Structure 1
């Protein structure tokens, strides 16, 4: 049986919402249909922003990042 590798990064935030602004990708509103190709391409280049990824010098796959609020039992159950 293959065990999952889990990396835990911790931080202090006021609430889960603030933590998610740091740990999960953030998107600006998508330009509407009147945007030029250049404007749309610039939007694509800027998005998403991801503060966690910008502070870690290695590859992180956004699809596998989960923000957990102090649930030690849940974290322990991942490798069970």
Structure 2
């Protein structure tokens, strides 16, 4: 990871710890772990700031049905 991307990841992780509440876990435990920073989605996958891909099986029914950034949906949104 280049320095610029690492700084961005660190900044986003700091913002996450400072401003977000994650109701799915105990916050005390969450603050001790390195947060997962998702940079983008493609198809059925999420991609973090390190480039690692994760199958997005829990986001919503829309992702399961259409995937992230489906070209037809992107065009409709732009119109």
Give the number of the structure whose residues are more often helix, by fraction: 2
TM bucket, shorter chain: under 0.3
Kindly indicate whether structure 1 or structure 2 has the higher relative contact order, using CA contacts under 8 Å at least 6 residues apart: 1
Larger Rg: 1
Give the TM-score taking structure 2 as reference length. 0.26
The two structures have a TM-score, normalised by structure 1, of 0.26
